[in-house]
Chains A and B, each alone.
Chain A
Amino acid sequence: MVSRLGFLGVIARVFVWAFLLGLAVVVLYPLLWMVLNGFKTNAELFGDPFALPVDWSFDNYRKAWNRGVSGYLTTSVLVTVTSTVATVFVSAWAAYGLTRVDIPFNKTVTAVILGGLMLAPTVALVPLVKMFQAMGLYNSFWALLILYTAFRIPFTTFLIRAYMIDLPREVDEAAEMDGAGRWTAFWRITLPMCKPIITSTVLLHILFTWNEYLFAMVFTSGSGVQTLPVGLTSLMSKHGTEFPVVFAGMVIAAVPVVLLFFFGQRYIVRGLADGIGK
């Protein structure tokens, strides 16, 4: 980009940089403060909030781990992995059916599945609680698995379908000519071609499940079935006087998704952009 850099231009550039970097500090400092507090003692925390920890010990992390975080983490991993697999496969199947298979009422089916995007989970809360109580699945791992899968199918199908529409049809048609069934064509040809969008949907689903709070809070109460977001609030209410332990728990909850974002940034951005724009 060419622009004339006069005196005013230089001043403007300095201001822009100061603003952008200042904002970066405003974003990063609270996160850094959180990590540092995980290493402090209560006395240090109450003394000077800006001081560095005196002794870099992992004591608080160990305490947090033993006071339930290990269990919350296990549940979170379990729910995240199972619901990601379920959501992505069910959605990919649906997307394949909608774009590659000649099915009756295609338009209606598409509208019904994608229409789910418009519905807010809060609205369905009361009936869902009654429903899961009646099924005996209230306060269980299954409640979260089913809800996370069902409520994310519309978005995930939307993304995969949009990608499949743009793929050339000749390849899978040729495969069918060769006598490969639809099932084989789906697994061997279409799904591998969709790898980039599958990666995006997997990462976005992990981000969603790992951080979800509304369903997790309403549908689970026992410690064996609570995920990290809800578990952290119980850690807070049970050990709320030992703040550094709570901070350690927060860091344990945050680190996996931050790493995920750094390694999968390209795919996450692509998924988000396609999800909102297409």
Chain B
Amino acid sequence: MPVRAIVRRTLGLAWVVPALVLVGVFVYLPLAQNLGFSTLEWDIYSGSQEFVGLDNYRRLLDDPVFWSSFGDNLLYAVISIVFQVFGALVLAALVESVRSERWRRSLRAIYFLPSAISLTVAGLLFYFIYEPNLGPLNHLLRAVGLEQFTQAWLGQESTAMYAIIAMSQWQGFGYSVLLFAVAIQRIPSEIYGAAAIDGVGPIRRFVHVTLPLVREMTGLMAIVTISGAFQVFNEVMVMTGGGPNNSTQVLGTWLYRSGFVRNNFGYAAAIATVLFVITLGVAMAQLWVTRRRRVEW
């Protein structure tokens, strides 16, 4: 290859260098550093660093809060799959079965609305809704005679995590409905027409036509939901800060607390590595799903 051509090709790299540098320095480099940090006993205030090998990971395995945090992430994932994947899919099919285009559009927009506002606003809002004395939830329960069910939703270990997860379903389901609606709209109308001629009822139509044809979107939504469930941070920080008694800690908040409140950077880095492995695994699954699309038209 003539020198000029090589120079020309190399100059072409200028187009991608800004993106490469930013992503390389601020996304990839910290990730690599994190692995190194996780092998240190590191006090930020005294600045002392000592190599301890895999000690942080060993301590992780013995830390009950680490396991309960992991469990809470898992619970988050399972409940979100039920509501934001399967629930949202059924809901999207119901919305798309409405005849009036204007109503379909309005319903989709209304359901999506909480996803546009921040998790901070939604979290604070539900903090007040769950508030035992002034909160409308307990007021409502009293008004309909279910006094015995009123409680300090976020203030006790047995209900706090479920209360946070419930808020996040409220906040996020409309996003999934919107995406499933797009997937359903992409199904050619002839297929539904043929089903109608064959006298297939709405439920069988959903099971035998819609479901198989939105399988790829369902897989993707499940993966995105699981990945999101392990990155939960904002709503927990705003609503409970991980309490009461660490019952609502998730890996993200436990990482934050270990590193920035208890000043143990090495331990926080070890939690980050666990999160890295989980989210990377989930991302690989996503790649695998998108690579082998079954249904194309």
Quick check: is A128 within 8 A (CB to CB) of the other chain? yes
Q: How many A-B residue pairs have CB under 8 A?
A: 274
Interface residues on B, range: 35 or more
> Is A122 in contact with B272, judged by CB distance below 8 angstroms?
yes
> Is B272 in contact with A123, judged by CB distance below 8 angstroms?
yes
Q: Determine the main DSSP class of A at the interface with B.
A: helix
B31 neighbours in A (Cβ, 8 Å):
119, 123-124, 127
Q: A27-B113, A147-B26 are in contact. Are A94 and B15 (CB under 8 A)?
A: yes
Q: A109-B16, A113-B20 are in contact. Are A34 and B125 (CB under 8 A)?
A: yes
> Is A98 in contact with B16, judged by CB distance below 8 angstroms?
yes
How far is it, in angstroms, between the C-alpha of A218 and the C-alpha of B30 when the chains are bound?
15
Quick check: is A117 within 8 A (CB to CB) of the other chain? yes
The 8 closest A-B pairs by CB, nearest first: A97-B15, A211-B118, A118-B283, A127-B30, A124-B30, A94-B19, A150-B26, A127-B33
A20 neighbours in B (Cβ, 8 Å):
94-95, 98, 107
> Is A277 in contact with B220, judged by CB distance below 8 angstroms?
yes
Residue in A49, A97, A210, A218 whose beta carbon sits within 8 Å of that of B16 in the complex: A97
Interface string of A105-146 (1 = CB under 8 A from B): 000010011001111111111111111000000000000001
How far is it, in angstroms, between the C-alpha of A48 and the C-alpha of B193 when the chains are bound?
52
A277 neighbours in B (Cβ, 8 Å):
182-183, 216-217, 220
Known: A93-B18, A123-B30, A258-B113. 18 other contacts (CB 8 A): A1-B193, A26-B170, A30-B126, A31-B125, A34-B121, A49-B134, A49-B139, A113-B16, A119-B279, A120-B227, A120-B275, A122-B255, A123-B276, A125-B256, A150-B25, A150-B27, A214-B234, A276-B179
Quick check: is B242 within 8 A (CB to CB) of the other chain? no
Quick check: is A151 within 8 A (CB to CB) of the other chain? yes
B105 to chain A minimum Cβ distance, whole angstroms, is 8
> Is B9 in contact with A102, judged by CB distance below 8 angstroms?
yes
Q: Pull 6 A–B residue pairs with CB atoms less than 8 Å apart, ordered by A.
A: A31-B125, A118-B279, A211-B120, A257-B116, A257-B118, A261-B112
A98 neighbours in B (Cβ, 8 Å):
15-16
B144 to chain A minimum Cβ distance, whole angstroms, is 13
B95 to chain A minimum Cβ distance, whole angstroms, is 7
Quick check: is B53 within 8 A (CB to CB) of the other chain? no
A89 to chain B minimum Cβ distance, whole angstroms, is 8
- Which of A1, A50, A104, A126 has the most B CB atoms < 10 Å from its CB? A126
Residue in A119, A128, A151, A258 whose beta carbon sits within 8 Å of that of B117 in the complex: A258
> Is B121 in contact with A27, judged by CB distance below 8 angstroms?
no
